[in-house]
Every structure is written in structure tokens, then in C-alpha cells.
Amino acid sequence: MSPADFRSVADAIAADIAAGRLRPGERLPPQRDFAYARGIAVSTASRVYAELARRGLVTGEVGRGTYVRSEPGRVGPLQPEPPAAALDLQRTHSRLPEQEAVLSETLAALARSGAEIGFSQYGPAGTARAQAVAAGFLARADYAPDPADILFTGNGRQALAAALAALAGPGERIGCEPLTYPVVKGIAARLGITLVPVAMDAEGMCPDALLQAHRAAPLSGVYIQPTLQNPLGVTMGPARRADLARLLEGTGLTVIEDAVYSFLADAQPLASFAPDRTILIDSLSKRVMPALTVGLIAAPPHLTDRLAASVRQGAWTALGLSLAAGMHWMAGGSAAALAAAKRRDATARQVIARAALSDLRVVGDPHAYHLWLELPETWRAEAYAAAALRQGIALLPASAFAVTPGYAPNAVRLALAAPAREDLDQALRRLRRLAFAGDDQVVE
């Protein structure tokens, strides 16, 4: 069989799944056994399984094998929105009572400031005043971005898209954590960029593994979340950040630092260790509110023009009203006050979650708005997520975050931010009971 014929074998398995001959949750044979039964090479069998995973028909779980997906074809670069009736443990946007007052006050202040806001459309750099306000807002000890290098987008996702597009073209490679923000997977797929998983440990991405990946085939850049990484919640310590900065300087690589969760933790930005090699991305979506937000890019001086062109070409510039609201929040203290309130709220929700799930294995930072739940051997992550949804709780299995299709640990991520605290506690206790029930004991 020629290497190209692996697709015909994948088509046959896909037909069996579509016809119900292979049912959701059914385990496929180990690749070696599959190859022997089909009379094909093991390397061809590996490509068949990878193709089925790419199509969203199967999922692999580390150490457990490959299974037909509970909902074939749904998980890919685009993640479905949680059903309206489901309790949302998918998204990490929080809604505190204080936010309603902030929104009302902001809209009133903008209305008083003059009608020009509604007729203004700015470029990626916004205005000099907006750049100065944002630079001051992002500044930390030992880190003070130049206002001239601040750019604005409609939201944080657009800032990430602009940064990825500026660093890599179609067919080029970007290193990232092996479990990463699902939206980045979708953006990379649409831009034709290949994401390369780089090993991580309890402090995040390993510099040695990054160097090895770059030497194997040159990377065009790196995307990381060094603070409260999504989905695992790990944070790089100062020594790891310094090691990574030295590697960036030595290789000439540029890193995209996703800092959207940094307001929940006290950690020096990676940009302060490697300012010439770091594109810092932030936004006001999670700090303040997603409906009226702005994305922030703090660029190295030599990349500012390229990033600005990327923002323009992608039509990702911030709207005048959103930029004005963002300036009002950053300059007036509303963003800082809400960040402090959300830090307290996230910590309280972590206490609730760890109490409700006390006899299950959870991983994550006690200051984060998300938690990683490792499932008992009686469950597979896909089946658990589907069973939870049938009980009215929407969450994401590990496969949503896995960079390599079909390769994910047996775990789910729980976003703790959205529900009321009482509802969160009840939902987590239901998830605990579900975890101990086991897949074969769930009664619909």
C-alpha cells in the first residue's frame, strides 16, 4: 500500500462510524494490531489514526488508547458554545455585581465627553494619549513599555491573531505548550501555521525542550502563557523566566506572552526579562467585561511597524467607543478595582471547588479562575464531558486543549468564573458524584 492510501483506510473507518458499526465510546485496536489485521505497515496505521483524529472522529487518551468520539466531528479548531440552558463551566469570564455599576458610570461619562467618540476610527496605535494610558497600566516593577510601541485591537483574540500573523506565514511553525488555549489552535489553523508542542513541567514550558524543537526544524516564534497557564494553571517562576529569556536572546526567537490572566497573580512579566524578544498581549475582557473591551499589544520596538501592519491587514483595529471606554477604565482606576475584586472572587471559588472535589485529583493555582480535573480510570474525558452536559453542565475535555490531535490526558477543565457561587458549588458536587459513578453506571 502506498503512503497516500492511508486516506482510503481512514475513509473506511469513517464509514463504519457513520453507519453505526463503530459506536461512540468504542475503543479502536492498538495501532500494531490494527496494522496486522489490515495488512498494512504500522507507520500507515499511525497515519490512519492521525487522519481520523484530524477529522474529529476519534480521540486518543494518554495510556488508554483511541476511542470513537462521543460526538464525532465536533471538536476541532472551532469549539462549540455551551448550550444556553447549560450551567457554563467552559468560559472564564466572570460577572461581579460591581461590573454593572462600572458599565453604567462608563457609558454616562462617555456620553458627557462629546459626540466625537461615535465618529472616530483610529489606527492600530489609537491616540498618543491612549498609548500613554495603556503603557502606564501595563507597567510593573522593572517593566515599563514605551507608549510608542503600544497597539490596540478589538479584543485579546485579535491581538493574538495579529501577533501570530506577524511572526509566521502559512506553513511555518510556532512553538507552544502541548495543552494550550483552544482559540490559538483555531487561529493558527486559519492562518496555515503549524503549532509545535513543546514539553512543559510544573513551571510551564521547558527551555531545553524549546531549544530542541527549534534545532529539529526552525521555529518562527513561540506562544506561551507564563502566568496561570490555560488549562493547567501553572505559573513560571523568576528563574525559569530568566532561563527562557536567555534562550530567546541566544536563538533570536520572539515569544508571544499571553498575559490575560496576569491580573489574578503577582508575577513579573516575561517581557521584563526579554523586552526585545517578547510581544506582550493583554486585554480588558476578563479584567473588566467582554462586551465592551479592547486588546493590548506591547511590542518590541523593531516589531511595532510589522505588528501594526498585521492589525490593519486583519481588520483587527479597536473601535473608537471601545478604546475610549478602555482608556476611562485604565486611567480612572475601574480596571484596577475590578481586578482586585476578581482576585478575591477567584480565590473564593477555588476554595469552593477544592472542597466540593476534595477526594478527586485537581491541578491548578489557587488564584485562577479555572481548574484541571483528572478523572478516575472508570471514565474517559470525552464521555465524562458528554455525561455532564446531559446533566446540564457544560465543560471542556482535555482534547479541546491538545495541540496534537488525538493525544490528550484523561482530564477536563473546569471554568469557575461564570456561575453564581451557590450554583457552582452544587454543580461541582454533581460532577463529583458523576466521577465516582463511572461511565457504565450512569443512568439517563
Q: In this predicted model, what pLDDT tens digit does every residue of 361-387 receive, in sequence order?
A: 999 999 999 999 999 988 988 889 989
**Does position 328 have pLDDT exceeding 80, yes or no?**
yes
Written in H, E and C, the secondary structure of 92-113 is CCCCCHHHHHHHHHHHHHHHHH
pTM for the full predicted model: 0.84
- For residues 199 and 247, the answer to whether their CB atoms sit within 8 Å is no
Residue 78, number of CB atoms within 10 A of its CB: 13
Instruction: State pLDDT tens for residues 61-101.
Output: 666 788 887 665 554 444 556 666 689 999 999 989 888 88
Question: 20 or 72: which carries more pLDDT confidence?
Answer: 20
- Least confident span in 34-48, 147-161, 346-360: 34-48
- For residues 60 and 66, the answer to whether their CB atoms sit within 8 Å is yes
- CA nearest 366: which of 265, 270, 226? 265
What's the half-sphere exposure (Cβ side, CA atoms, 13 Å) at 297? 36
Question: 50 or 409: which carries more pLDDT confidence?
Answer: 409
Helix or strand run (H / E) with residue 280: strand 278-283
Instruction: State pLDDT tens for residues 94-132.
Output: 989 888 888 888 888 888 876 556 566 789 999 999 999
Alpha-carbon distance of 398 to 382, in angstroms, equals: 8
